[in-house]
Amino acid sequence: MRGGSTVEAAALLTHERLLGQRLLLHIKARFVVAPAIVAAALIGHSVLGIDGLEVRSLTLVAGFIAAYNVAILRVAWSRCDPEHAAEHRRVLRRLFRGSMVLDFLALTIVVWLVGGARSPFLAFYLFHVVITSLLLSRTTAMIAVATASVLLSTLVLCEYFGLIPARMPVGAVMGGGPIDGRYALTLVLVYPTLFVLVGLLLTSLVQALRRAEADIQSKTIELQKLSTMRQEFLRVALHDINSPVGVVSMLVGNMRQGLCGPLDQRQQDQLDRALKQLGGIDALLKDLRLLSELDTTDLAEHSIEVSLAFLLDEVIEEHADLAAAHRHTLRTEPGEGAALVFGVPRLLKEAIVNYVTNAIKYTPDGGTIVARVLEREEFVRLEVSDNGIGISAGDQQRLFQEFTRLGRSNPHTSKVRGAGLGLSLVRRIAEMHGGTVGARSRTGEGSTFWLELPACRRTPDVAS
């Protein structure tokens, strides 16, 4: 039962899920309006000297508002949680409609006591119609329009025909004497027409927005399902593929080392090629494991203060042999401090590794690779620069997209294996940590890839 209600609640649009919260907001507003009516009446009578202002009657109206507001609050209090909106939607709608009718009734009494058809508070009818049209359903908005039209027309006609006495507090209302028939007719025709037009216009606009919201919500739910399916597929695929690949790599490696007997040159070459292919598969599996992990990692739970400068030094040291194998000069520029950021060290290190290994792989042998960490007021910037082949302006726009391999026609880069996931993983890691990534490059002049993360400002003792 709980699971079904959760699914139903998830299918509700925002305005339906927040119905209880909006009802509470209206309740809070009434608790402000009720004493405001009393205060305004006292100030108008005692300070401003408005004659004929019925303070006692207005105080009774304020008490009436407070009384039904307390009753609505008692019923609505336990039903306003957005997570259980589906369970209490019908009750909340009834409470909203009932309170709306009572609000219009209280407003009509206040308008009658402060000038009737000449009251400066007539505009509050329109205010109520606007609020109802924006926040509630079209049916409820039309009920509000009908209620406002009936109550206002009844007040004006009863005052015109003498069925109720006119209240004309001097100083609050302009003019006096009997209401003119033409003025009464104008009010009866103009205000209800205005209510209808405003209600129809606003509800049409709101309905269009809610249709768009429903469409976005359905697409979001579909994307969530696809994301869940992808995560499950990655989990199963990695589990089923990782072990066999590891076993095959071990067996082929054993053969290459001659543990299964002597090999001629041709056999050694074939096994070397096989190991190279298996190495590419292993790198792909590593990227897929990281991709799966990014979808499920609770960043807040695993994040700590970490020195980006320390991680960079560690990565450079670990990849010194790989750089030396390509006769690269791999070094870091000294920084000014620890460059503290808040994040998951292993993920941040993986992003740095990706930048450094890319520079090593895509720079022709004998190149220079320089990494640096720059501290700014609000962020820490890590850069990895090389004097490699560079990237064209057109290709730079696609650098950080998933499964993007660039430069396949280049003789040097075409030999580099990969699935095109690395830079997209760097982008996702940076975005998870509230950061950004980017690159600047010129063909034939090299590239600089950068990563910016929000900085942690701590004392020197903590930084050390």
Q: Above pLDDT 70, what percent of the chain?
A: 84
Tell whether 14 and 158 lie within a shared domain.
yes
Tell whether 182 and 77 lie within a shared domain.
yes
d(CA 329, CA 368): 5
Strand partners, 386: 369, 447
Tell whether 351 and 442 lie within a shared domain.
yes
| Local confidence band at 5 (pLDDT 50, 70, 90 cut-offs) | very low
* CA distances (Å), origin 256, targets 11, 263, 322, 385: 59, 8, 21, 37
Highest-confidence segment of 62-76, 182-196, 348-362: 62-76
CB 268 within 8 A of CB 258: no
pLDDT of residue 2: 38
Mean pLDDT lowest among 345-349, 359-363, 367-371, 455-459:
455-459
pLDDT of residue 406: 59
- In this predicted structure, the answer to whether residue 376 has a pLDDT above a threshold of 70 is yes
Tell whether 325 and 213 lie within a shared domain.
no
pLDDT of residue 34: 94
pLDDT of residue 14: 58
Q: Above pLDDT 90, what percent of the chain?
A: 25
Residue 234 lies inside a defined structural domain of this protein = no
pLDDT of residue 454: 92
Residue 204 lies inside a defined structural domain of this protein = yes
* CA distances (Å), origin 76, targets 23, 25, 95, 134, 325: 8, 12, 8, 21, 72
Domain boundary among 224, 257, 282: 224
Rounded to 5 degrees, what angle do the CA atoms 293, 296, 298 make?
A: 110
Length of the chain as a residue count:
464
pLDDT of residue 356: 93
Tell whether 93 and 214 lie within a shared domain.
yes
- 171/316: higher pLDDT: 316
Residue 274 lies inside a defined structural domain of this protein = no
Tell whether 207 and 316 lie within a shared domain.
no
Domain range for 379 is: 299-463
Q: Rounded to a whole number, what is the largest CA-CA distance in the chain?
A: 121
Tell whether 204 and 318 lie within a shared domain.
no
Residue 282 lies inside a defined structural domain of this protein = no
Report, in this order, helix, strand and coil percent for the chain, each rounded to 5: 65, 10, 25
Domain boundary among 175, 194, 224: 224
Tell whether 210 and 304 lie within a shared domain.
no
Number of domain units in the chain:
2
- In this predicted structure, the answer to whether residue 461 has a pLDDT above a threshold of 50 is no
Rounded to 5 degrees, what angle do the CA atoms 338, 342, 346 make?
A: 90
Share the mean pLDDT of the chain: 81
DSSP 329-388: EEEE---SS--EEEE-HHHHHHHHHHHHHHHHHHSPTT-EEEEEEEE-SSEEEEEEEE-S
Structure tokens at 78: 């336990």
Tell whether 67 and 210 lie within a shared domain.
yes
Residue 230 lies inside a defined structural domain of this protein = no
Domain boundary among 170, 199, 224: 224
Beta-strand pair 368-375/329-332: parallel
Indicate which CATH number applies to the domain containing 351. Answer: 3.30.565.10
> pTM for the complete prediction?
0.51
Residue 265 lies inside a defined structural domain of this protein = no
Residue 145 lies inside a defined structural domain of this protein = yes
Tell whether 201 and 57 lie within a shared domain.
yes
Residue 371 lies inside a defined structural domain of this protein = yes
- In this predicted structure, the answer to whether residue 326 has a pLDDT above a threshold of 50 is yes
Tell whether 190 and 307 lie within a shared domain.
no
- In this predicted structure, the answer to whether residue 288 has a pLDDT above a threshold of 80 is no
Tell whether 182 and 312 lie within a shared domain.
no
Q: Which residue has the tokens 């976005």?
A: 216
